[in-house]
Amino acid sequence: MPDFMEILYGRRSIRKYKSEPVPEKALSAVLESVRWSQSWANTQCWEIIVITDKTIREQLQAAVPKGNPSFKAVVEAPLLLALCAELKRAGFYKGNAASKFGDWFLFDLGIVTQNIALTAHAHGLGTVVAGLINHDACKEVLGVPEGFELVTLMPLGYPDEAPPAPPRREISAFTHYDRF
Ligand SMILES: Cc1cc2nc3c(=O)[nH]c(=O)nc-3n(C[C@H](O)[C@H](O)[C@H](O)COP(=O)(O)O)c2cc1C
């Protein structure tokens, strides 16, 4: 397995996949990485739906704008994960929002997303986060109950492309010392 920084640098958003299935062991590792995600007060608000069914995939694709670069991947990747969150868990204390930002579900799901992406990459798999979707339409397709939100779709499979790394801001452009 590559070392951690290699995994960090080497992970790319993958939008073109081979049809080869995701091995059970790799999927288990990905789900294990979700399980060990850090979260607000260990509230673990995530729920993950693993989708293989083609009809459901097509119904979900109808909820993705055609201009989304991941439009095809939603159907073509061998697996699709839907990342959902239970509301009023992350950031809440005795039913009340404990901080200025209210519900921290997006934050905690962001951590889950990164764990999935890095673990998948460590196993030679690719992923992409699809956030530009019609969330309510996806919820409807998957029967996500009230009190939960579907946050992102994540295709998962072996990459059939090796895109270059998009440019990054320099450390000096975002790092501040002592004051902003
Ligand atoms: C919250 C979030 C939402 C994203 N939504 C989409 C999306 O809807 N479609 C897509 O093709 N890529 C999407 N991306 C992928 C980004 O475009 C990608 O991470 C960024 O360009 C950097 O490229 P890299 O992941 O290869 O380093 C999303 C990424 C994040 C973190």
Decide if 12 is inside a domain: no
Closest CA to ligand 1's atom 27: 12
pLDDT at 51: 98
Q: Which of 9, 13, 125 to mutate to test the pocket of ligand 1 (most atoms within 8 A of CB)?
A: 13
β partners of residue 134: none
- 89-95 contacts at long range (C-beta below 8 A, 24 or more positions apart): 89/40, 89/43, 89/44, 89/45, 90/39, 90/40, 90/41, 90/43, 90/45, 91/40, 92/43, 93/41
Query: What digits encode the pLDDT tens for the residues 125-141?
Result: 999 999 999 999 999 99
> Residue 6 — pLDDT band, cuts 50, 70, 90?
very high
For residues 165 and 115, give the distance between their C-alpha atoms in angstroms, rounded to a whole number: 19
Decide if 169 is inside a domain: no
Query: What digits encode the pLDDT tens for the residues 8-51?
Result: 999 999 999 999 999 999 999 999 999 999 999 999 999 999 99
Cα 70-28-109 angle, rounded to 5 deg: 50
User: At residue 65, does pLDDT exceed 70?
Assistant: yes
Ligand 1 center to residue 44 CA distance, Å? 23
Decide if 4 is inside a domain: no
For residues 160 and 147, give the distance between their C-alpha atoms in angstroms, rounded to a whole number: 37
Please count the structural domains in the chain: 1
Tokens 């930002």, located at residue: 101
Decide if 179 is inside a domain: no
pLDDT at 140: 98
Decide if 170 is inside a domain: no
For residues 122 and 148, give the distance between their C-alpha atoms in angstroms, rounded to a whole number: 30
Ligand 1 center to residue 178 CA distance, Å? 31
> Residue 2 — pLDDT band, cuts 50, 70, 90?
low
- Interval 103-122 mean pLDDT: 98
- Measured in whole angstroms, the distance separating CA 146 from the mean position of its chain's CA atoms is 21
Q: What's the sign of the alpha-carbon dihedral 22, 68, 143, 112?
A: positive
Mean pLDDT of the chain: 97
β partners of residue 81: 50, 154
Its domain, for residue 61, covers 18-159
Ligand 1 center to residue 140 CA distance, Å? 23
Decide if 180 is inside a domain: no
* Ligand 1 cavity residues, CB under 6 Å: 12-13, 15, 68-70, 128-132, 166
Decide if 52 is inside a domain: yes
Q: Exposure string (b/e) for 2-26, b if CB count within 10 Å is 16 or more? A: eeeeebeeebbbbbbbeeeebeeeb
Q: What is the pTM of this model?
A: 0.98
Ligand 1 closest atom vs CA 73: 11
- Interval 79-93 mean pLDDT: 98
Ligand 1 closest atom vs CA 69: 11
CATH number at residue 90: 3.40.109.10
Decide if 176 is inside a domain: no
Tokens 């608000």, located at residue: 45
81 in Cβ contact with 51 (< 8 Å): yes
Ligand 1 center to residue 108 CA distance, Å? 17
